[in-house]
Structure 1
């Protein structure tokens, strides 16, 4: 398995590649710069995941289009939430959306999530996506009867507002353990893998308005 990193040559890139190799000793990591675009296209068959630093001085859309056409996993790495391409890139439904400042544990989780065939969206970026989606679809619809209990609807509503388990427990005057039980039940009922997809399901169905 090989993961490619498209990023401007720098000491920071070398440190990042070294860090990734230490986190994933069984995976090969290769760094490419703007001058390696042709090589990157020629190497596509051996690459499992391409991570693109959006600060790289090149037209990343060409690379993204090519790798998507080859059904290869793609993640983009934002350094700022003011990036004008953020929403357009979110619409492409790529495999990963990273953000600067990720700790080792979060980076490990993000890459492992993508390798396992799931989608990773950094919480900072995900909140922007949810807020934008909410603005476009700001009329709540009646919630289906018999799908969730009253308490589960309350927990799901707080999840859509970005509350963490500890905050939900404090708001509803219940224990964190109980919150985890409710969240697990919600995920199971909605047939989704994680909290993010539970929130997306609620927003798409217009059960809540942010």
Structure 2
């Protein structure tokens, strides 16, 4: 059985030790190091080469975002999940732009923690619904200076085919339009919009609107 080697980075001793105790109950996981600030995390990450790091954001000496940037520049394959007690928009954007595999809220339960670690290790992005909604809202509020178009190469790489009408619906969906507003813009019924959105959800295998907006945003470029 391949073990997931994990490093925990948090300035609170109780949080570090509590997470370590929980994680090491799993046969396929091992905590290979802990650190109490971002600077120590960089040094220990290079020494222990973990598969995955649980990284707090607000820490003395060096914060989690700066530490994440440095570690990602040195260790290409390491997965980093950011630990946070609140869903700050700027942290969300900064974390994802700098290569984080997602976020974990510190009040999550045991099963969510273990499941998220396994999913992130397998390459999935971890976004709790609260964070996904904030990020989707931030994306929708962004007003680009130039119109956005579908990145066909990206779509081809994903092996997904969207019809012309589905693309029109997606363009409005990622802008944060409601179903009614999409219907009015495309001169179709709201029921028809729901059908198109359901078909899109089926193709991308996502059923949550906020998560879908974040995912579909990748298909758009300037």
Q: Same fold (TM over 0.5)?
A: yes
Q: Does 1:111 align with 2:117?
A: yes
Q: 1:8 to 1:125 in 2, by over 3 A?
A: same
Q: Aligned residue pairs: how many?
A: 182
For residue 27 of structure 1, the aligned residue among 26, 29, 32 is: 29
- Give the deviation of 1:145 after TM superposition: 4.7
Q: Does 1:15 align with 2:18?
A: yes
Q: Once the two structures are superposed, what CA deviation does each residue of 1:7-34 show, in whole Å capped at 9, x if it has no partner? A: 1242232122111222x22211132223
Native 8 Å contact 2:85 2:105 kept in 1 = yes
RMSD of aligned Cα (Å): 4.0
Give the Cα–Cα distance (whole angstroms) in 1 for the partners of residues 102 and 218 of structure 2: 20
- Give the deviation of 1:126 after TM superposition: 1.2
Residue aligning to 1:76: 82
Q: Once the two structures are superposed, what CA deviation does each residue of 1:70-121 show, in whole Å capped at 9, x if it has no partner? A: 1111111111224753332232241121112112222222111111111111
Native 8 Å contact 2:96 2:102 kept in 1 = no
Structure 2 residue ranges without an equivalent (≥5): 149-161, 179-190
- Give the deviation of 1:41 after TM superposition: 3.9
Q: 1:8 to 1:202 in 2, by over 3 A?
A: closer
Please report the TM-score for the alignment, with normalisation by the length of structure 2.
0.63
Describe the SS at the equivalent of 1:58.
Answer: coil
